[in-house]
Structure formats: structure tokens, C-alpha cells
A and B are shown apart, each in its own frame.
Chain A
Amino acid sequence: MINSNEIIDDIANKEYEFGFSTDIEMDIAPPGLNEDIIRFISAKKNEPEWLLEWRLKGFAAFKKMEFPKWQHFEMPTLDLQALSYYAAPRKKKQLNSLDEVDPELLATFEKLGIPLNEQKALTGVAVDAVFDSVSVATTFKGKLKEMGVIFCSFGEAVQEHPDLVKKYLGSVVPHTDNIFAALNAAVFSDGSFVYIPKGVRCPMELSTYFRINAQNTGQFERTLIIADDNSYVSYLEGCTAPMRDENQLHAAVVELVALEQSEIKYSTVQNWYPGDKDGKGGIYNFVTKRGICKGTGSKISWTQVETGSAITWKYPSVILQGDYSEGEFYSVAVVRNKQIADTGTKIHHIGKGTKSRIISKGISAGHGDNSYRGLVAVGPRAENARNFTQCDSLLIGNQCGSHTFPYIESRNKTAMIEHEATTSKIGEDQIFYLNQRGIDSEKAVALIVNGYVKEVLNQLPMEFAVEAQKLLSITLEGSVG
């Protein structure tokens, strides 16, 4: 029997030797993580040499790292050698329009409620759909192109805008950042790339839907958004995944770069398969998201609604480098059954007059365990930095857990840092009061929860906010009584 590594060696070397064309019948790489598979991925994507080298540096860093131990949950056993690091849908040739996309693929999107076509067109949302690591369709490109906005798959950006990619890739989340970021650097498959040119206000919400599909395929998306001077962009990321029996690792990286006076708003609704009642089979969502406010007066705002995944582990962060720059983090994290969330943010105040605002709303039901972990660090140059943190926990039932780990480091006397925290429980009295007005317990909980998270949902674009509200109600169904 031939060793699978040998096969990869064989394929990788051979294909590399002769170069790659795009019209390959799809393949799924055999499981395993090694330099050859990285070369294979890079070759398949027809990447320039510098990118392959960067991947290899990421892999070298990865090999030296160990899994962290500080998190507030038991790290699941991850056999990274058992994962396959490349999968793409079959495609016969380069597609020119949606009509050419495999109808079955489109049907799956429909089932997931991902309106790829006219529906979105009517609501003014451009969609870049990522299906199993490879972008299959992009709409609205023309309109965005007119304004100079680049919104495409990461792979495409590497081919068509290599200078931008080279300049900013890894500039916010370096390949050495943490073990998952290093892994992502080594094997990232595809993702989204956005560039908003100087002075342009992106005319529509940019939206990407991710989906984890092929079994045993780690998802390693990479997103890079650059807002040039005086520009604005709002980016939406939403996820759904079908039922799964085996755990799936998702270790994405998102990098945001905001230049002078620009603003990036990044919103996420995450609803990946959380596992069954015993927590078996859910997604591990270990994502590194970070933005840098490089320019004076720039602003980055993260909004997240996290209801899915077996384990959600991420800290969308902001580095406030530019003077008077501003960072925001709005979060709703829901855990039920045996779900775990260890999430929060890190805000680094470096420039003077920098401001940040953190609003975190944790909801725990069932046997769920919810932790807020946040760092507010004020550097010596950050004169008059201001931070306001509000960190609320809502408990439903008696068996869930909620924890808060706020870290505050101030190295400037003029800084003002406020931290408020509350813990509340949906009381039987509240439920009974609403029952007595004709509202059943399920609806009562939904009403209370939606009231509780309103401040965060208000940050989402209207259409998204409505979806998120529905999602929360559905998620908490059956958690009372």
C-alpha cells in the first residue's frame, strides 16, 4: 500500500512542476498537515512565491507552539493530522455568471436561506459566497468596481491585487500570533478581500456567507479588509451549518486596517452547529479577529451575535494606534445545552485621545458555560484615553455558568477606564407576570432576552438585526420550564 504522504508528494510535486490550470476536477486533499500539503495548496491556488514562503513561515511558527492553557474550558482533543486541508467544489471551467454555478450548489444555498441572487440585489447587498473554501459566485462587482471598491475572494485578490495583499497580509494578525493564527497562515484556503479606496463610502453592506460543508475539512478562512483614508465600509458575516456528527475546527483569521479618518463596521451572526444535547459533534470556532486603527480619527466597530458552535473562542480586538481613533465591541453570546463560549475583546490604546466602548451581553441556559474575557490596555502615550465597559450576564435556569475575566492595564495617569458588570437571572416572577398577561413562557423569555440584547442588536444593520432577533428566539426555545 502506498503511503498517503507519498501520494501527496507525488501530486504536489508533479503539479507544481507543470504549473496549475484552474480547470481541475475537484479534489479533496488526503488528511495530514505537512510542508508538502502547504506547497500543494499554494500551487493549487497558483500563488506567488512570497505567499508560499509566508505560509511556510506560518507552519514553522505553528510547529513551535502549543495549545493555550488559560482558557476557561477543557481543550478538546484535536488531531490536526486527521484533517484534510484542502477541499473545493468540483468545477469544470471558470464560471462567468451565476447561471453557470452547479444548480445543486445553488439549491443548497437556498435551503440555507442564503439568497444569492435577486433577493439580495433588491435589498442592496452584495454577496461573496464562500462554499467550502472556494468562492463560487460574486455579485455586484460591477457597481463596486465603478467606485474603485475591491470586494473579491482572497484567492482572486492574491492574483489581481498582489501588492495590496502583500502589504497588509499578516500586518494585524502576524503568522506568529497564536497557534491557530499560525495554522491559518500555513493552510488558509480562501476568504474575502475588501479594499475601499480613499474618500469612498461603500454604498452597500458587504456580506459574506460562510458554510462548513465537507466532512473532516478544517475551515481556514482568511479575511482582509482595508479602508483607505476617509472611507467607510460595513461588512456582514453570517454563518449557518447543517447537522454534523464529527467535530469541525474552524480557525479563521480576520484582519481589519483602518487608515486616516476611515471607519470599518464588522458584524457577525454566527450560528454554527452547536452539537447535540450532550455537546457532541459541534463546531469549534477558534477565530482570530483583530483590527488596527492606524490612522488618526479612524474607527473600528465589531458587533457579534454568537449563538452556535460547541465552543466559541475568540476576542475580536482593536489596536488604537492612530490618535483620537475609536474602537467598539458589541457582543451577544448565547450558550445552551453544553455549549461553551469564552469570548470578549482586547482594546489596546496606543494613540492619544483614543476611545473605546465594550458592551458584552452573555446569555447562559441549560448547562452552557459563558465567559467574558476582556483586556483594556492603555499605553504610556495614550493621553486622555477613555474606555467604557459594560459586561452583563443573564442566566436562565440553575445549571448554567457565567464568568467574567476583565483585565485592565493602564500605564497612563490621564486614562479613564470604567467597568460595569451585572448578573441577572430571568426570574420566575417575571415569567409569571408575562404569563398572566397572556404570553406563554417561551415568548416571555424571547421578549426578555430581546430586550436584554437590544443595545447590541441595534448596532446591526436593520435586516440583520431582525434575523438575529429571530435566531435568538429559536436558539432559546425550550430552555425554560
Chain B
Amino acid sequence: MLTIKNLHAEVEGKKILKGINLEINKGETHAIMGPNGSGKSSLASVLAGRDNYTVTEGEVWFNGKNLLELSPEDRAREGVFLAFQYPVEIPGVSNLNFLKTALNEIRTYKGLPPLEAKEFLKLTKEKQQLVDFHSNLMNRSLNEGFSGGEKKRNEIFQLAMLDPQLAILDETDSGLDIDALRIVSNGVNKLRDAEKSFVVITHYQRLLEYIIPDFVHVLYNGRIIKTGTKELALELEERGYDWLKEELHLKESV
């Protein structure tokens, strides 16, 4: 579904990604871990098409399409969803109106008619329950005055509504208490199926106790330096990243 080949990217002239290779198949969940500044969130931004990132080398293919040639909105319409680490607040735009616009834009792109108000509300009710998203948040301005937990739940709620093929969760666990973490993770787990793939970016193994990944990758200095299964996450929790860094330096010095 998603193929990343030798991806290099920079922001303001600074090299951030230095040759990422990653293959994600339908239905798989990949965790990307790594120390601060290793390029995890940058990878998410590049995939979503944030324009202050410049891709200098490499390719990204998504369902046979050259993702890097698509505008951010077309990537979204093709089925790439980014759950933001810091969701923005947009005063005056109601959550409901925003979602309806987004959903119908995606449907129009796919050649589907806009969803009727009744169906839309039905879908909303259904998906709200997934992340225990209160109805009173629906009519409020998008993320305005939401708590950290509410914002993250809103991201997962949008994910449920827009039903993408690939969901990238950028540190969705940051700023969540343990109850909220459980709610958000449960929501994600209910959305997992054979058609949908997830990239879960996180600092902590804790999240991966709830969302169990098929693969764990360690990103360091703009490259994936190790790939394993969920056990790797446990090992990282126990030993930190230093041993990997050392391993890497040993390899490089040989």
C-alpha cells in the first residue's frame, strides 16, 4: 500500500530525513519510535505534504500513485490521514460543519454524492461512541478550548469519520492521562481491519501495550536503524536508545 524508498527531506536547509525505506502493507500496523529529534514527526509531515518540508531525494508510492506529486488535500482524499500531535484550533468553524465539509470533499473526489444530512448525523452518532466523544463538543468550534485529551479524541473521531486507508498517528499518546490513553487506543483498535494500515509514532512503549503493532521501527538521525516486532519496543523501554546508537556507530566505524 505504502512504499517509501530512500526518502530524503530537509526543512530550511537542514537535512531531517536521510534515506528512509519502509514498506507498509494493507492491514498492518507499524510503530515508529526513536529519541527526540530523530525525524519521526518530520516523516509524518512529509507524508502529509506540509509545504515547509522539501523532499530532496527518494520516492513515496501510495496505492500505485506517486504521493509526492499530490497536493496535501489530494493525499487526504486518496486516503492518507494524519492525526496531528498538536491539533490546531479554528475559532468559529463548528466541528460538525468542518467534518461535513471534509467528508463531502473526499466523497466528491471519489465520485460519490454528498452525504445527506440524516445519514451524516447517523454516522456521526455511531462514530462518536468509538472514542466516547461528547455530543456537546460537536457543535463547538473546532478544537477551540478543548482539553488536550479532547483534542486527541477528536483526531481519532475524525479518523473514524473519514475512514482513510492509511492513518498516521503522530504522538497521539502525548499529553494523555491513562484513562484517555485507553479510550483513544480502544478507538483505534476498533478501527483496525484487514484493509486499513496504521503508522503509530510514539516515544513510549506504553501506547504499544494498547495498540499492538506488527512491526516496530527505530528512527534515529533521519534513518530507520532497526526493525523488529513488538518485543523490540519492550527492549527499548528497558534499555533506552543508547545501545542502538552504539551499535550503529560500531557498524559505521567498521
Contacts and interface: CB of A to CB of B under 8 A. Distances in A.
Interface string B174-197: 000000000000000000000000
B90 A437 contact: no
A186 to B, nearest CB: 44
Interface in A416-470: 424, 427-430, 432-441, 443, 447-448, 450-454
B109 A451 contact: no
A439 B105 contact: yes
Contact of A435 (B71, B93, B98, B101): B71
Contacts of A451: 90-94, 97, 141
Interface residues of A, number: 23
Interface string A390-432: 0000000000000000000000000000000000100111101
A438 B49 CA distance: 12
A443 B105 contact: yes
A330 to B, nearest CB: 15
B218 interface: no
A386 B50 CA distance: 47
B158 A437 contact: yes
Interface string B71-86: 1110111000110100
Residue of B72, B81, B87, B158 with most partner-chain A CB within 10 A: B72
Nearest to B87: A433
A437 B93 contact: no
B201 interface: no
B73 A448 contact: no
A436 B93 contact: no
A452 B162 contact: no
A440 B72 CA distance: 8
Contacts of B93: 447-448, 450-451
A64 B162 CA distance: 67
Contacts, number: 77
Interface string B135-163: 00000010000000000000000100010
Given A435-B72, A435-B76, A427 B102 contact: no
Contacts of B250: none
B48 interface: yes
Provide the main secondary structure of the chain A interface. Answer: helix
Given A432-B72, A447-B93, A438 B84 contact: no
Contacts of B105: 437-440, 443
A187 B49 CA distance: 59
A451 B140 CA distance: 11
Contact of B71 (A440, A443, A448, A453): A440
A424 B82 CA distance: 25
B106 interface: yes
Contacts of A430: 88, 90
Given A432-B50, A451-B93, A451-B94, A438 B88 contact: no
A443 B102 CA distance: 10
Contacts of A434: 90, 98, 102
Residue of A428, A429, A441, A453 with most partner-chain B CB within 10 A: A429
Nearest to A424: B91
A249 B16 CA distance: 57
A453 B91 CA distance: 11
Given A439-B102, A447-B98, A433 B77 contact: no
A478 to B, nearest CB: 16
Nearest to B82: A436
Given A443-B101, A447-B97, A447-B101, A438 B77 contact: yes
A427 B162 CA distance: 23
Nearest to A426: B90
A438 B90 contact: no
A438 B73 contact: yes
A436 B98 contact: no
A16 to B, nearest CB: 58
Contacts of A427: 88
A432 B51 CA distance: 9
A428 B162 CA distance: 22
Contacts of B97: 447, 451
Contacts of B98: 434, 437, 447
A206 B15 CA distance: 64
A386 B91 CA distance: 27
A451 B87 CA distance: 18
Contacts of A443: 101, 105
Nearest to B105: A438
A437 B76 contact: yes
Contact of A439 (B49, B50, B82, B101): B101
A430 B50 CA distance: 12
Given A432-B72, A433-B84, A438 B92 contact: no
A424 B90 CA distance: 11
B90 A440 contact: no
Nearest to A454: B92
Interface of B: 48-51, 71-73, 75-77, 81-82, 84, 87-88, 90-94, 97-98, 101-103, 105-106, 109, 141, 158, 162
Given A430-B88, A435-B72, A447-B98, 19 more contacts: A428-B51, A434-B102, A436-B81, A436-B84, A437-B76, A437-B98, A438-B76, A438-B77, A438-B102, A440-B71, A440-B105, A448-B90, A448-B92, A451-B94, A451-B97, A451-B141, A452-B91, A452-B92, A454-B92
User: What are the nearest 10 A-B pairs in CB distance?
Assistant: A451-B92, A451-B93, A435-B72, A437-B102, A438-B76, A438-B106, A438-B105, A435-B73, A438-B77, A440-B73
5 contacts: A429-B88, A438-B103, A438-B162, A439-B105, A447-B97
Interface of A: 424, 427-430, 432-441, 443, 447-448, 450-454
